[in-house]
C-alpha cells in the first residue's frame, strides 16, 4: 500500500483522498482478477490438457447457477464502482454557494487570475486554507486545461465559453499548476503554482495590493455605466431592455416561447450575440459588444450582473 501511495501525487484536499481511494480500489480489483484469471488459465490448461491422442474429451455442460452467481457478483462490483465514481463526480461539479470566486483567463502561454478583492496574478494563485474556491475559467485563444495534481482537479479552459473547477485546500504549501492540453509550441512553459496560505497570511497578502485594483464587481459596475448599458436595463416600465436584478441563476423566458437558465455562458452570449436568445417582450435592438470588450472585461461585467442576484 505504501508503494502505491508513493506513486500518487501529494493529497492536499479531501477530494483528492476520495479520488485516490476509488482509484486504488479499482486498481486492487483489477489486480485480483488479473491474478485469478491467469491462475485459472494455467490451472485449467494443466488439469484439462489432452494426455494422449486417443483420449476423447468429455462433452461440455452448462452450470447456470455458477453463471448467474458469477454474473451477479460482477454486476454488483461494477455498480459499486459506478455509483462511487458518480458520487465523486457530482461533488466535483457542485461548488458550495459560499465559495470564493476567482476569474481565470488562459492565454498562450500563461494563466491570468483575478481575486474578489481585485488583486491580479499571473501563473500563481494564492488561496486561503480551509476555504472553498471556485475558478470561473475561459480562454482568449485556444483550448487549455487547468490542472492541479495535488488537488485532483482538472478541466478544459475553452474559448467562447466558461467552465469551472472548485477545491477546498486542507494543507498549507506550494503545489504545481499545469496546462494539461497541448496549446502550441510553448505549451510546456504554461506552468505555475498554487500557494495555500493560512487565513491570516492570505488576508495580509490581499491587503498588500501595491497598485490598487478594482474588484471584478467594481470594474463591472463601471463598465456597465461606461458602455451605456444602464440606459436600457432600467427597472422602470419603459425600459428598452430587461432589468438584470435577480436574473442570474433563474429561468428567463425567451421570445420563441422557451426558457433558459441565466448562467455565466448565457450572460456571455447575451453580451456578445444579444439576438441569439432574445428575451420575451423586448425588441432586438441591443448591439453586439463583440470586439468592444475583452475576456477580462466580460468576466467583470458578468461578476457585476451576478452581484445583483440574491443567492
Are residues 224 and 244 in contact, defined by beta-carbon separation less than 8 angstroms? no
What the block records as the C-alpha cell of 259 is 426558457
Return the CATH fold of 100-207: Immunoglobulin-like (2.60.40)
Return the CATH fold of 216-307: Cytochrome Bc1 Complex; Chain D, domain 2 (1.10.760)
> Which residues sit opposite 176 in a β-bridge?
193
Q: pLDDT value at position 212?
A: 57
Q: pLDDT value at position 276?
A: 87
Task: Show pLDDT as tens, one digit a residue, over the chain (311 residues).
Answer: 455 456 788 899 999 999 999 999 999 999 999 999 999 999 988 888 877 777 777 777 778 888 899 889 999 999 999 999 999 999 999 999 889 999 999 999 999 999 888 888 999 999 999 999 999 999 999 999 999 999 999 999 999 899 999 999 999 999 999 999 999 999 999 999 999 999 999 988 888 765 557 888 999 999 999 988 888 888 887 788 888 888 898 899 988 889 999 999 999 999 999 888 888 888 888 889 988 888 888 989 999 999 988 76
Can you tell me the distance from the alpha carbon of 292 to that of 166, in angstroms, rounded to the nearest whole number? 30
Strand segments (E) across 115-235: 120-122, 124-128, 133-139, 144-148, 153-157, 163-167, 173-179, 191-197
Give residue limits of the domains in the chain: 2-46+61-92, 100-207, 216-307
Can you tell me the distance from the alpha carbon of 117 to that of 203, in angstroms, rounded to the nearest whole number? 10
Q: pLDDT value at position 1?
A: 46
User: Is-same-fold flag (100-207; 216-307)?
Assistant: no
Amino acid at each position: 500500500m505504501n508503494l502505491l501511495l508513493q506513486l500518487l501525487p501529494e493529497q492536499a484536499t479531501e477530494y483528492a483522498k476520495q479520488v485516490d481511494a476509488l482509484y486504488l480500489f479499482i486498481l486492487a480489483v483489477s489486480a485480483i482478477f488479473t491474478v485469478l484469471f491467469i491462475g485459472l488459465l494455467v490451472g485449467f490448461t494443466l488439469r484439462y490438457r489432452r494426455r494422449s491422442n486417443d483420449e476423447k474429451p468429455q462433452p461440455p455442460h452448462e452450470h447456470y447457477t455458477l453463471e448467474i452467481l458469477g454474473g451477479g457478483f460482477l454486476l454488483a462490483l461494477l455498480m459499486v464502482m459506478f455509483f462511487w465514481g458518480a458520487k465523486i463526480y457530482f461533488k466535483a461539479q457542485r461548488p458550495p454557494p459560499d465559495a470564493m470566486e476567482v476569474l481565470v483567463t488562459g492565454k498562450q502561454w500563461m494563466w491570468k487570475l483575478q481575486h474578489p478583492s481585485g488583486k491580479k496574478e499571473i501563473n500563481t494563485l494564492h488561496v486561503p486554507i480551509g476555504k472553498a474556491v471556485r475558478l470561473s475559467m475561459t480562454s482568449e485563444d485556444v483550448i487549455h486545461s487547468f490542472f492541479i495534481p495535488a488537488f485532483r482537479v482538472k478541466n478544459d479552459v475553452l474559448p467562447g465559453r466558461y467552465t469551472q473547477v472548485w477545491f477546498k485546500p486542507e494543507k498549507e504549501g506550494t503545489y504545481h499548476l499545469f496546462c494539461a492540453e497541448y496549446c502550441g509550441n510553448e505549451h510546456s512553459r504554461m506552468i505555475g503554482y498554487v500557494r495555500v496560505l493560512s487565513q491570516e497570511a492570505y488576508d495580509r497578502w490581499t491587503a498588500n495590493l501595491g497598485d490598487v485594483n478594482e474588484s471584478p464587481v467594481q470594474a463591472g459596475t463601471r463598465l456597465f455605466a461606461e458602455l451605456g448599458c444602464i440606459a436600457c436595463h432600467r427597472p422602470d416600465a419603459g425600459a428598452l431592455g430587461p432589468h438584470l436584478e435577480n436574473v442570474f441563476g433563474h429561468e428567463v423566458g425567451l421570445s420563441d416561447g422557451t426558457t433558459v437558465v441565466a448562467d455565466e455562458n448565457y450572460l456571455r452570449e447575451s453580451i456578445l450575440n444579444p439576438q441569439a436568445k432574445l428575451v420575451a417582450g423586448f425588441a432586438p435592438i441591443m448591439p453586439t459588444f463583440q470586439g468592444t470588450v475583452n475576456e477580462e472585461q466580460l468576466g467583470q461585467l458578468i461578476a457585476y450582473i451576478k452581484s445583483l442576484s440574491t443567492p
